[in-house]
Amino acid sequence: MRYVKILLIMLVVAVSLFAGAAMPGNAAIEPTVDLLRPKAERGDVSAQFKLGVMYANGHGVPQNSQEAVKWYRQAAEQGHLQAQINLGAMYRDGQGVPQDYQEALKWFHKAAEQGHAQADFYLGQMYYKGQGVPQDCQEAIKWFHKAVYYLSQAQFYLGQMYYEGQCVPQDYQKALKWYRQAAVYHPEAQYNLGNMYRQGQGVSQDYVEAYAWIIIAAKNGFEKVSKVKALFLRDMNALQVAAAEQRAKEIQDELEHDSRVAE
């Protein structure tokens, strides 16, 4: 009988261990809608935001933009920063609600008042495109500059504006400066740098440097590179191509260093 008890105890322990192994990190299991909804209905701002995310992305529930807007709004009204940004984006894009640029601007401004760079960038975009407001280049530049030390998107936009002379006098050197800053994370900025070095825009013409940036952009998945690669290679000899490949490795190291510094 004693051996039977021992066997039963061993069986219980084994089952417990198996159950624990089957659900690693039990405390970290993602909350379900059934767990979150009662908290959200009681005014828990974190639960409201999480429900918004789940409905927006279809995580654990059928995707439902209207339901996402409902929960984002409740969290946003309590001052939840990311909920304000997400709600603004849904009004801007007409997801789950009729498109309403004025409402989008309202929520982006609320988030910007809390110091969020993504909200600054979205405001810059809206003033630049004249969405919900008359186009205002100076206001757009102001908001892009607020975001520029945190977001490569803002750096890229400024590069584009100076390159094309949109809202500002055309200035290739300033375009080059902003594209270089954006290039840490932005493949299209890398591609544009390649083009500028190839054409000598704002910098001395340099086929090796140009092709090095094209290699980097291709490595980071910028699809347009495949269509123009032959154009770059047409003006280069084998030694220049080899030099560009070596230079691309050096640039990659520089970008990785800049990325670590930015973090």
Q: How many residues does the chain have?
A: 263
Helices (H), the chain: 2-22, 33-41, 45-57, 65-77, 81-93, 101-113, 117-129, 137-147, 152-164, 172-182, 187-199, 207-219, 225-233, 238-262
The more confidently predicted of residues 198 and 260 is 198
CA distances from residue 207 to 28, 35, 183, 236 in whole angstroms, order as listed: 52, 59, 18, 7
Q: What angle do CA 64, 68, 73 make, to 5 degrees?
A: 155
pLDDT at 200: 97
Mean pLDDT of 39-67: 96
pLDDT digits (tens, 9 = 90+) for 60-111: 999 999 999 999 999 999 999 999 999 999 999 999 999 999 999 999 999 9
Residue 9 has what pLDDT?
38
> Do residues 64 and 94 touch, judged by C-beta distance below 8 A?
no
pTM (2 d.p.): 0.76
* Distance, C-alpha 47 to centroid of its chain: 23
Average pLDDT, the chain: 88
Q: What percent of the chain has pLDDT over 90?
A: 77
Residue 183 DSSP class: T
Task: Output the furthest CA–CA distance in the chain (Å, rounded).
Answer: 93
- pLDDT, residue 167, reads 84
List pLDDT tens digits, range 135-183. Answer: 998 999 999 999 988 889 999 999 999 999 988 999 999 999 999 999 9
The pLDDT value given to residue 23: 32
pLDDT at 30: 60
pLDDT band of residue 263 (cuts 50, 70, 90) is low
